Structure 1
């Protein structure tokens, strides 16, 4: 999966024949999460997310594939393509990644794409422990990383020469 993000619940999708985005909803499992410390929001999207209840609003606006004037879109995902093959999750589905596409029953082709994978970067304490102090001081000169390290040692019960 080099350089590809795993798609999670809440990811944004768009259809090439629609005019509005929609968000993915995971209905097929409650076990595997990504980028979610509490394990309650970011379920991993799999190839088992099929049918008409896979999207929050179940529509991409108007469907230009259906003629003129375009009628309202009614999404019905029949299959996913370009998923991550080596891993199978508990629902027997394969992991959807950011370049995966979904096939809609109306279009009959992979017309639904992921526009945002749904993951959000959240720095953890480990990120600060691993920081290169010189690079950090160049990027963020207002924060003294050495001072932060000293405060951390004091809070963890380390040595403090001022006490």
Structure 2
């Protein structure tokens, strides 16, 4: 993978010894949002997000605990991006390749399945799009008069 995405709240994670994924919950900072137009849901995750930092705080049943319920506690993160440091918690940004350590599992037993970011098309994206590209994508539409959902194409 040549491009690595930053991780945000809601990222889906899994443990090598668990039976179900869980979503990352950012508890160490409350100011830095990524990929969130409204700045209200997708806090940037950092290597300071440790201890009980998941929504359910479990990955189903743990094979290390004889298939009893998981008791995840993150003690550290590895492979984080050290070129971004947040002032609020002095943490470095997590990447989709970052891994976490659980004392019950092993070093780097928790991995990120999905970084949590999602693409959102805005009116500005449509305005910045080449008219010829829009015409190729929507050949049956009269772009001078038609509207595409909430995006008014005629204002291009």
TM-score scaled to structure 1, two decimals?
A: 0.83
1:62 matched residue in structure 2 = 61
Choose the corresponding residue for 1:105, options 103, 112, 115: 103
Gaps of 5+ in 2: none
CA gap 1:120/1:143 in 2 versus in 1, 3 angstroms: farther
Deviation at 1:150, TM superposition (A): 7.7
Deviation at 1:120, TM superposition (A): 1.3
CA-based RMSD? 1.9
Which whole-Å CA distance do the structure 2 matches of 1:150 and 1:45 have between them? 36
2:34 matched residue in structure 1 = 34
1:152 matched residue in structure 2 = 155
Aligned length: 149
Choose the corresponding residue for 1:133, options 113, 131, 134: 131
Larger radius of gyration: 1
Secondary structure at the residue paired with 1:115? Answer: strand
Q: Deviations over 1:111-149 (max 9, x none)?
A: 111111111111122211221222222222234444467
CA gap 1:125/1:74 in 2 versus in 1, 3 angstroms: same
CA contact (8 A) 2:33 2:42 kept: yes
CA gap 1:130/1:150 in 2 versus in 1, 3 angstroms: closer
CA gap 1:76/1:135 in 2 versus in 1, 3 angstroms: same
Which whole-Å CA distance do the structure 2 matches of 1:108 and 1:85 have between them? 23
Q: Deviations over 1:49-81 (max 9, x none)?
A: 101x20000000011123x3x111010101111
Secondary structure at the residue paired with 1:136? Answer: helix
TM superposition outliers: structure 1 runs of 4+ over 3 Å: 142-151
Secondary structure at the residue paired with 2:61? Answer: coil
Which whole-Å CA distance do the structure 2 matches of 1:62 and 1:44 have between them? 28
CA contact (8 A) 2:11 2:23 kept: yes
